[in-house]
């Protein structure tokens, strides 16, 4: 007996247990069906981020581990497929969807719906955490998949920090998925950029526009005599009070990945002057992603891709990202038959 397209199993990486990458298994699953406000995307490319690895292993503070076990499943994950950003083609649209049609090339984030480690994923047209837009015309699927999460996070924090032309910003952890876009966005906004990361990432940071680079293995930026109008701390593990030493009197300290202890110390320290410590940024919007698309098409932002893996090698990609050596994004080529 023959099968319809919807009945044919699709390939995916299934999340079977919390812990090491071995809990991610290559398997076949049922093709999903979009709800009224969703589109079904044929995923051409997705990514592995540090956040994906932390969620898989639950490497969080005890309170966040409790929260995610309640949300994801107490003993094992209820949501079986990870992956939060993608680029691909619209295969089917829900009855309430007007912005997209079958065949549209799109990129975006799935939010807490996840599901991008598969050949097909249903994505809300827009929710509090999921955002979808037309793919930049001058990017491949792989390049476009590398943008949404890091790009939206960088954009939201730089806007929250009110970065202005001629100001000086230091980006700590500039060589990762958020930092590489933040460097380019800050230059687009007319700022002077100092980028901090490890030795092997410095040349890449110079190539995307950093005016000055600091090798954190040799130099501690908090001991510098330089001062900055803003600091974007993507690492989130340093001492905020120490970082405030190199912040101007009315500067903004932006923390993209804060720990609870850092938040408490930062809030206390920021009350001692005009400096502001900012831990949160607004939820992403379609307008934000469209803005990124437009400046990408204007040639002002390019993707920084370190490695590419096929779908079945997602566990190996997780191991590499967890090593901390990745320069920019690690891409998963879900469909290798038409990555253009």
pLDDT for 116-147, tens place per residue? 999 999 999 978 889 999 999 999 999 999 99
Residues 135 and 9 in one domain: yes
Whether the Cβ atoms of residue 180 and residue 147 lie closer than 8 Å to each other: no
* Cα distances (angstroms) measured from residue 57 to each of 50, 73, 76, 82: 11, 13, 11, 12
Residues 41 and 72 in one domain: yes
Whether the Cβ atoms of residue 299 and residue 14 lie closer than 8 Å to each other: no
Which spans in 116-201 are helix H? 141-145, 148-160, 177-188
Q: Does residue 109 belong to any structural domain of this protein? A: yes
Residues 127 and 219 in one domain: no
Q: Does residue 197 belong to any structural domain of this protein? A: yes
- The predicted pLDDT at position 262 comes to 46
Q: Where are the beta strands (DSSP E) in 228-296?
A: 228-233, 247-255, 276-278
- The predicted pLDDT at position 273 comes to 59
- Pairing verdict, β 247-255 and 228-233: parallel
* DSSP code string of 71-97: HH-SSS-SS-----EEEEEEEEE-TT-
Q: Does residue 298 belong to any structural domain of this protein? A: no
Q: What is the CATH classification number for the domain harbouring 222?
A: 3.40.50.720
- The predicted pLDDT at position 261 comes to 41
Dihedral of the CA atoms 47, 51, 52, 53 (nearest 10)? 120
Q: Does residue 286 belong to any structural domain of this protein? A: no
Residues 95 and 13 in one domain: yes
Q: What is the CATH classification number for the domain harbouring 109?
A: 3.90.180.10
Dihedral of the CA atoms 244, 167, 305, 125 (nearest 10)? 90
Domain that holds residue 135: 5-147+303-333
Weakly modelled stretches of the chain, pLDDT under 50:
1-4, 258-268, 338-340
- Give me the sign of the Cα torsion angle 317, 318, 323, 329: positive
- The predicted pLDDT at position 5 comes to 55
Q: Does residue 222 belong to any structural domain of this protein? A: yes
Could you tell me the two tokens for 323? 């090593």
Could you tell me the two tokens for 96? 């309430």
Residues 214 and 228 in one domain: yes
Return d(Cα 106, Cα 333) in angstroms, integer: 15
Q: pLDDT tens across 258-314, in order?
A: 444 444 444 445 555 578 999 888 889 999 999 999 999 999 999 999 999 999 999
Residues 126 and 176 in one domain: no
Residues 100 and 157 in one domain: no
């Amino acid at each position: 007996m023959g099968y319809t397209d919807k009945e044919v199993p699709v390939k995916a990486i299934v999340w079977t247990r919390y812990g090491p990458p071995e809990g991610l298994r290559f398997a076949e699953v049922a093709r999903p069906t979009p709800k009224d406000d969703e589109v079904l995307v044929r995923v051409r490319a997705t990514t592995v981020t540090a956040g994906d690895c932390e969620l898989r292993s639950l490497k969080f503070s005890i309170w966040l581990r409790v929260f995610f076990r309640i949300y994801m499943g107490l003993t094992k994950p209820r949501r079986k497929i990870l992956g939060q950003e993608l680029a691909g083609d619209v295969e089917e649209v829900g009855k309430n969807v007007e912005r997209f049609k079958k065949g549209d090339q799109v990129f975006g984030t799935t939010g807490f719906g996840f599901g991008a480690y598969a050949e097909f994923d249903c994505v809300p047209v827009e929710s509090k955490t999921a955002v979808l837009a037309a793919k930049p015309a001058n990017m491949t699927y792989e390049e476009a998949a590398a943008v949404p999460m890091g790009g939206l996070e960088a954009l939201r924090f730089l806007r929250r920090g009110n970065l202005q032309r001629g100001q000086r910003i230091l980006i700590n952890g500039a060589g990762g998925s958020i930092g590489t876009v933040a460097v380019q966005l800050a230059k687009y906004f007319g700022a002077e950029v100092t980028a901090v990361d490890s030795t092997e990432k410095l040349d890449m940071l110079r190539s995307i526009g950093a005016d000055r680079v600091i090798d954190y293995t040799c130099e501690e930026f908090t001991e510098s005599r330089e001062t900055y109008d803003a600091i974007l701390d993507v690492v989130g593990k340093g001492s905020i009070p120490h970082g405030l030493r190199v912040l101007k009197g009315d500067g903004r300290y932006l923390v993209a990945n804060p720990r609870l202890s850092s938040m408490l110390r930062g809030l206390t320290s920021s009350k001692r002057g005009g400096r502001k410590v900012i831990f949160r940024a607004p939820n992403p919007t379609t307008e934000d992603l469209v803005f990124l698309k437009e400046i990408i098409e204007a040639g002002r932002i390019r993707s920084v891709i370190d490695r590419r893996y096929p779908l079945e090698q997602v566990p190996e990609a997780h191991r590499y990202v967890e090593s901390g050596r990745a320069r920019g994004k690690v891409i998963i080529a879900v469909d290798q038959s038409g990555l253009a």
